[in-house]
A and B are shown apart, each in its own frame.
Chain A
Amino acid sequence: MFYSTRSKLIASFLGVSILVGAVSLFIGGQLLYKAVLSEAMHRVSFDLNAAREIYLARIKAIRTPLSITALGFGFLSALKGQDAPELVNRLRRLAEKVELDFAGIVTKEGKTLCRIGPNSIPREMAQIANPLANLVLERRVAISGTVILSKEFLSAEDPELAERARIQLLPTPRAAPRAEKEETSGMALAAAIPVLEEGEIFGVIYGGVLLNRSTTIVDTARDTVFQHEVYKGRSIGTATIFFEDLRISTNVMTPEGKRAIGTRVSKEVKEHVLTKGKKWTDRAFVVSDWYITAYEPIEDIFGERMGMLYVGVLEAKYADMRRKALTVLVLIIVAGMALAIGLGYLLADKIMRPVRRLIEVSQQVVGGSLTPDIGPISKGEIGVLQNTFKEMVAAMGRRSEAAQNRLLQSEKQASIGRLAAGVAHEINNPLTGVLTYTHMLLRRKDIADDIRSDLQTIAQSTERVRRIVKGLLDFSRQTRLDREPTDVNRLVRSTISVMENQALVKGLSMKFNPGENLPMLTLDRGQFQSVLLNIIINALDATEPGGDITVSTGISLSASDPGKKGVEIAIADTGCGIPPEHLDKLFDPFFSTKEVGQGTGLGLAVSYGIVQRHGGTIRVQSEVDRGSTFTIWLPVEEQAEEHEDTGG
C-alpha cells in the first residue's frame, strides 16, 4: 500500500507543501519579523526625537518667561532696591502661569534674595549653593537645561520638593547593582537669567521644574507620539526620564499597575548610553517586559551625562502580530496539505485507472485471451502505453497464429512421414518381387517381341513406383543436416548455372540480383541446393517462353518474429501463378498440380522440411497469370540444430 502510486503521489504533494510551508514559516517567522522589528526600531528612534523636542520645548518654556520677567517694567529697580516682597509677588505670578516648581532671585553676590517657596525671604546669610545662579554669575550669560539639585537645595527651596525628589530604589532585574537605598537629589529642568544693566549684573533670576515624579513631559510625549494607542489595556508607547539609571519620571507601569518610578535601567543599556554616551535602539527589557526601545543620554548644564531619555513600544504587539501571521501560515499549510492529499488521491485515481485496467487486461492475456478490451484510450503517455499494449497483443496474436500454422504444418509432415515410411516398407517387398520377376522374364530369349514390350512397360512402371516410394522416404526421413559455413550468393549462383541451360532451351531469361554484405550462414549445402533447385524447376515449369525468373538475395528481418535478422532468397517468376485455393496446400506432401507422372508432389514438402530444420521459413506470394514469388528466409543466428528432430 505504501509503495502504491497513490501514496507516492500524495507523499510528493505533501513534501512540496511541507517544504513550501516550512520556507514560508521561516520567512514569515524570522525574516519578515526582523524587518518589522527594524521598522519598529526606526520608528521608535524617530519617536525619541519627538520626545526630545518636547523635553527641550519645556526647557524653553521656562527660560523665555524668565527672560521676559527679568526685562519686565520695574523689575530691575525692585532688584536694585532689594524689594523682596515685590519680587516674590512677581515670581509667584510667573510661577503660577508657567507652572514652575521653584523660582527665585539671587543677588550678584550669590545670596538668595527671595524665592517662591515657603521660606520666601531667607534672613540668615548661611545659604545653600545655587548651581544655576553660580554658573550664570560665573559665565555672565543666561543658561538653561537639565540640572541636578541636591536635597539641601531642594529643602531650602521647598521641603515638599525635597520630599517629592526622594525616591526609593526598587529592586529591578537586570539592573546594575547600586549601593544606596534611595535617591535624594532631584533632576530638574531649569533656566537662570542674568539681570543686567549696561553690562553690569545686578542679580540672577532662576526657575525650573522638578522632574522627579513629574508626569507632564513623559505623558505629553506618550500622548503626542503614540496617540493613546492601547494594546490589551496597556499603553503601547512609553516614555521615561532617567536620573542616571533610575526612573524618576515615567509612564512605564509595574505589573501592579503603578508607575515604575524607582526601578532602574538594565545594565547593558546603562553602560551603552550613560557610560559610552551612545544612542541605543534595540529590544530591551524594561521593568518586566520586552520593549522595542530607544535611549539617549541627557547632559546637564555642565555638559555631564546625568540621565537618559527613553521611549519604547511594547514588543508584545509585534510578537502578537507574528503569532497571528504564523497561525494564518500554519492554517494555510494545513489546508495545502489537505489539498495535496485530496489532489494526490484524485490524480492517482485518474492516472491509475487506465493502468489498473491494463494490469487486468494483462492478466487476461496471461490467461490466454488475445482480444482483451483495453477501454478508452487516454491522452499522453498512458495512451501511448495503451496503444503499444494493444499492438503488442495483436502482434502476439499474429505470432501465435504463425506458430500454430507452423506447428500444424510440422505435425502434418510428421504424421505423413510416419505413414510414408510404413507404406514404403510394405510396398518395397512386393515391389522387389515384381522387379525381380519382370527382369528375369526379360532375360529370356524365347519370348515374343510384343510380350517383351509389355514386360518392359511393367518394368518402367515399377521403376516409377520405386521412384515415388523413394521420394516418400526422402520426405519422411529426417536426415541429419551436414552444415558448413556457406556463402549464400555463391550457392545460389552455382544452382542457377545448373539450371541456365534448361531455361535457355525453354526460352526463359534467368537473372540473379545478389545482395551485398550478406553474412555467412551455416547450411547443409546439398540439401539446401535441392530446395533451390526444386523451387527454380517449379518456376521454369510454371513460366511460358519469354518470361523471366529473377532470383534475389538480401538481408531482411523475419516476418513472423520482428527483430530477428536473417538472409532472404526470393525466387520470382512471371508465370501462371497459383490460385488462392491452392496456396495453403502448397507444402502438403503429394499435393501437385503437375500432370500425372510429372511430379511426385513431394518436392515443396521436402523443401519446406529442410528450410524449417535450418530454422527458416518459406512464404509464397502469387497472383494468377502474373507470377509467383517464393521467399526463403534463413536466420543469421540460431544456427543450432534445434529443428533437427521435428517432423520425424
Chain B
Amino acid sequence: MKILVVDDEQVVLNSCKRVLEAEGFEVCLVPSAEKALEALEREGFGLLLIDVKMPEHDGLYFIQEVKKRWPAIPMIVMSGYDTAETIEEAARVGAAVFIAKPFTPDELVGTVCQVVSKEESHETDESPGHR
C-alpha cells in the first residue's frame, strides 16, 4: 500500500517515512497541500496522512479537496494542536481518524493499521492504490 504523507515539517515527514517503511508501506512525502494534490493526480494512494496546520492552503482545505475528487481514499489527520475545535472540524470535512503529535512509532503504526484494516473489511477492490 502506498501512503501519502503531507506536512510542512521535514522532521515529521522523515519520521513517518522511517516508521511506515519499517512496517512495509510504500511512503511518498510532500511538503504542501499543492504538492499533495499534484501527487494525487499523478498516482493513486491507499491512505493519506495529513497535517492540519500548514502554511498557504491548510490541511482542512486539502481534506475537502480530496473528499471531493477522491472520495474513496481514507485519511488520518495529525496535529500538534489537538483542540476540540480542530478535531471537530477535521471530522466534519471527512477525516475520521485523528492522531496527536508528538506520537511514538507504535502509536502511528497502530492508528494506520486500524484505518487500513477497517478499509479492507469494507470494500477493498475499488481502492485505486491498493496492492
Contact = CB atoms under 8 A, between A and B. Distances in A.
Contacts of A436: 15-16, 18-19, 103-105, 108
Contact of B102 (A440, A466, A477, A479): A466
B128 to A, nearest CB: 29
Nearest to B83: A477
A238 B22 CA distance: 152
B53 interface: yes
Contacts of A437: 15, 18
Interface residues of A, number: 24
A429 B9 contact: yes
A473 B81 contact: yes
Nearest to A476: B83
Nearest to B51: A429
A444 B39 CA distance: 33
A439 interface: yes
Interface string B75-114: 0000011111000000000000000111111101000000
A479 B84 CA distance: 6
A433 B12 CA distance: 6
A466 B107 CA distance: 14
Given A424-B80, A425-B81, A480-B84, A432 B18 contact: no
Given A437-B18, A440-B19, A477-B84, A428 B102 contact: yes
Of listed B15, B16, B100, residue having the most chain A CB within 10 A: B15
Contacts, number: 72
B14 interface: yes
B102 A435 contact: yes
Contacts of B104: 435-436, 439
B112 to A, nearest CB: 13
B12 A429 contact: yes
Contact of B106 (A426, A439, A473): A439
A72 interface: no
A431 to B, nearest CB: 4
Of listed B83, B100, B104, residue having the most chain A CB within 10 A: B104
A440 B16 CA distance: 11
A421 interface: yes
A439 B105 contact: yes
A440 B105 CA distance: 7
A430 B11 contact: yes
B102 A432 contact: yes
Given A436-B105, A439-B105, A429 B80 contact: yes
B22 A428 contact: no
B48 to A, nearest CB: 17
A435 B104 CA distance: 6
Contacts of A425: 53, 80-81
Contacts of B83: 421, 473, 477, 479
Contacts of B19: 436, 440
Nearest to A477: B83
Contacts of B100: 428
A462 B100 CA distance: 15
Nearest to A473: B82
Contacts of B11: 429-430, 432-433
Nearest to B53: A425
Interface in A124-182: none
B6 to A, nearest CB: 14
B82 to A, nearest CB: 7
A439 B103 CA distance: 10
Interface in B31-82: 53, 80-82
Contacts of A443: 22, 105
A435 B12 contact: no
A485 to B, nearest CB: 23
Contacts of A426: 80
A442 to B, nearest CB: 9
Contact of A431 (B22, B101, B106): B101
B84 A431 contact: no
A351 B104 CA distance: 81
Interface string A510-554: 000000000000000000000000000000000000000000000
Interface string A546-570: 0000000000000000000000000
Given A429-B101, A433-B11, A440 B81 contact: no
Contacts of A434: 102
Contact of A440 (B9, B22, B84): B22
Of listed A421, A426, A432, A435, residue having the most chain B CB within 10 A: A432
Contacts of A421: 81, 83
A432 B105 contact: no
Given A424-B81, A432-B11, A477-B83, 9 more contacts: A421-B83, A429-B9, A429-B101, A431-B101, A436-B18, A437-B18, A440-B19, A473-B83, A477-B84
Interface of A: 421, 424-437, 439-440, 443, 462, 466, 473, 477, 479-480
Q: Which 3 A-B pairs have the closest CB atoms?
A: A428-B80, A436-B15, A433-B11
28 contacts: A424-B80, A425-B81, A428-B100, A428-B101, A429-B9, A429-B80, A430-B9, A431-B101, A431-B102, A432-B15, A432-B80, A433-B14, A433-B15, A434-B102, A435-B104, A436-B15, A436-B18, A436-B103, A436-B105, A437-B15, A439-B104, A439-B106, A440-B18, A443-B105, A462-B102, A466-B102, A473-B82, A477-B84
